[in-house]
Amino acid sequence: MSDSNTPTTSNAPNDSDAGKMEPRDFIREIIRKDLADGTTSKVVTRFPPEPNGYLHIGHAKSIFLNFGIAEEFDGACNLRFDDTNPAKEEQEFIDAIEADVRWMGFTWAGAPKHASDYFDTLYTWAENLIENGKAYVDDLTADEIREYRGTLTKPGRNSPYRDRTADENLDLFRRMKAGEFADGAKVLRAKIDMASGNINMRDPVIYRIVKKPHPRTGDTWCIYPTYDFAHGQSDAIEGVTHSLCTLEFEDHRPLYDWLVENLPTPARPRQYEFAKLNLSYAVLSKRRLTQLVKDGHVDGWDDPRMLTLSGLRRRGIPAVAVRDFVSRLGVTKSDSVVDPALLDHCVREYLNKVAERRMAVIHPLKVVIENYPEGETEMLDAVNNPEDDAAGTRQVPFGRELYIEHDDFMEDPPKKFFRLGPGREVRLRWAYFLTCNEVIKNDAGDVIELRCTYNPETKGGDAPDGRKVKGVLHWVSSAHAIDAEVRLYEHLFVDPAPGKDRDFIEALNPDSRSVLENCKLEPSLADWPVGEALQFERLGYFAPDPDSTAAKPVFNRTMTLRDTWAKIQAKTS
């Protein structure tokens, strides 16, 4: 098996992105207006992930929007890590995020940026707020701050430390920076309005003490800015023109604007919010995804059952299909829940065109062709992809002993069962007509082998007399088969909205993964690239897992062949 974590050609964006209609949505209309009236001369966006976990399918929408807009308007998109909380951030997450953005087919402007690049400037600006009487050091505990903040219907109360002098606040803040106080002992708060109808404006915390080493700055700092303080100021430093956020940041926009207006920032960025991606039968909260990983409910962030981008990639889902999926969702202000069948449809639609076909038997049943010469092997031509003539053909070995799917045989088949049964004739894909003559069982009565005959005049699947058979079976030559493990995946959750009516862990699907041993693959699959999907004929789309070895290939099912989304659309049209 080729073992590479880099995207293969079939996973990278290609010409399928070309020729599409120009996207139209409220954000793009704002940008077009800003460019037309001279408010903006060059569009600069940013994608600002917090490196405390892996990116998921919801981030794909933000990636596609921020990087896509920069491309459309000949601008630039920065990749900026919001690394303001060293208690949760790791280099592993930074590396994974960069790999995911590349896999999605995008590149960022210049080198990756970090909020930590601006720690010196942000600290200076915090002192600027203190000197101007617009920030103060507070000794209240986190619980007391929440209590003093009030509720949606009740205004907050001023902290007893709110009226400290600028000199006193400056002295305390510098002593916080020097490490004199314990974690949580003091915070720096912006002095805005404790009676504001927007709770985010009720003297928000903008600096806190966190005595943990930072992945990039080490032990240089023991106080760190909050996201709200670092966000708009980092945008301003980088010259971001359109700061695109999901809707939960809409109530934070007044604070974003207040900080930019009250600090000596070099630019005036604007924040715009759009609806995030929500999927049924899934959780996209990073807190919940972290719990799944840490508590061992999944096998890491890239478990193929996870809707992380690395999990999708490991399952064999192409980046092109992910881009197509998020492009169909549009950009709106209205929250909605998307059926994951749409993602499946996008994957199938793409893979049906580009994925090569191979034969694999995942529930093998042995077939002995009694009238085929013993010890003889012949090579048969097989089409690699009926949707793509350029994919050409390959040769597959055929011999006296084969494997077929156990489900393709019934000892007492019903009338509309068009596969194999005693006395029945079927066509073997790319090979011959086959008739079952005898059924061999073990002591428990289980069918373990079929004795059959073939018609040598039907090579390629056509009978000289024009006779047709309805059943067409895939197969693998016993003498040439590769033994493999195959992993089948279903939704990780059984509830459409995990966590809505019970703990989301209780909604985990106990059958989300099935592992099949001793599956049989045709020999051309001996070195299929890891992560690159292909179609197992009649079974679905599959891709080799990184766990694969030369001695034991492992394939993940990317997707079944059945397209529920197309059926849903047909019923509603």
422: CATH: 2.40.240.10
Position 9 scores a pLDDT of 34
218 forms beta bridges with 214
Model-level pTM greater than 0.85? yes
Answer yes or no: is 545 within a domain.
no
Integer-rounded Cα Rg, in Å, for the chain is 30
Domain count of the fold of the chain: 1
In the predicted structure, residue 10 carries a pLDDT above the cut 50: no
Average confidence (pLDDT) over 260-271: 97
In the predicted structure, residue 3 carries a pLDDT above the cut 50: no
Mean pLDDT (the chain, rounded): 93
Identify the domain containing residue 365 by its residue range.
360-474
271 forms beta bridges with 243
* End-to-end Cα separation, the chain, in angstroms: 44
Backbone angles phi, psi at 351, to 5 degrees: -65, -30
pLDDT confidence bin for 553, thresholds 50/70/90: very high
Average confidence (pLDDT) over 424-437: 96
Answer yes or no: is 74 within a domain.
no
Average confidence (pLDDT) over 15-32: 74
What are the pLDDT digits (tens) for 496-538?
999 999 999 999 999 999 999 999 999 999 999 999 999 999 9
Position 12 scores a pLDDT of 43
pLDDT confidence bin for 18, thresholds 50/70/90: very low
In the predicted structure, residue 8 carries a pLDDT above the cut 80: no
CA distance 319 to 98: 14
Tokens standing for 388? 């793509």
Answer yes or no: is 468 within a domain.
yes
Answer yes or no: is 72 within a domain.
no
In the predicted structure, residue 260 carries a pLDDT above the cut 90: yes
Position 186 scores a pLDDT of 98
223 forms beta bridges with 209
CA distance 456 to 310: 48
Least confident of 19-28, 323-332, 440-449: 19-28
pLDDT confidence bin for 258, thresholds 50/70/90: very high
In the predicted structure, residue 273 carries a pLDDT above the cut 80: yes
* Angle, alpha carbons 229-232-237 (nearest 5°): 110
Q: 537 with 474: CB under 8 angstroms? A: yes
Answer yes or no: is 302 within a domain.
no
Position 7 scores a pLDDT of 39
pLDDT confidence bin for 468, thresholds 50/70/90: confident
pLDDT confidence bin for 566, thresholds 50/70/90: low
pLDDT confidence bin for 564, thresholds 50/70/90: low
Answer yes or no: is 535 within a domain.
no
Q: How many CB atoms lie within 10 A of CB 168?
A: 14
What are the pLDDT digits (tens) for 65-110?
999 999 999 999 999 999 999 999 999 999 999 999 999 999 999 9
Q: Alpha-carbon dihedral of residues 299, 549, 381, 318, nearest 10 degrees? A: 40
Average confidence (pLDDT) over 470-483: 96
In the predicted structure, residue 192 carries a pLDDT above the cut 60: yes
pLDDT confidence bin for 189, thresholds 50/70/90: very high
pLDDT confidence bin for 203, thresholds 50/70/90: very high
CA distance 446 to 84: 62
Average confidence (pLDDT) over 105-132: 97
What are the pLDDT digits (tens) for 364-394?
999 999 999 999 999 999 999 999 999 999 9
Position 24 scores a pLDDT of 83
CA distance 452 to 473: 14
In the predicted structure, residue 350 carries a pLDDT above the cut 60: yes
- Percent of the chain having pLDDT more than 70? 94
pLDDT confidence bin for 464, thresholds 50/70/90: confident
| DSSP β-ladder status, 223-225 and 242-246 | unpaired
Least confident of 14-18, 403-407, 465-469: 14-18
pLDDT confidence bin for 569, thresholds 50/70/90: low
Answer yes or no: is 279 within a domain.
no
- Percent of the chain having pLDDT more than 90? 90
CA distance 311 to 305: 7
Answer yes or no: is 366 within a domain.
yes
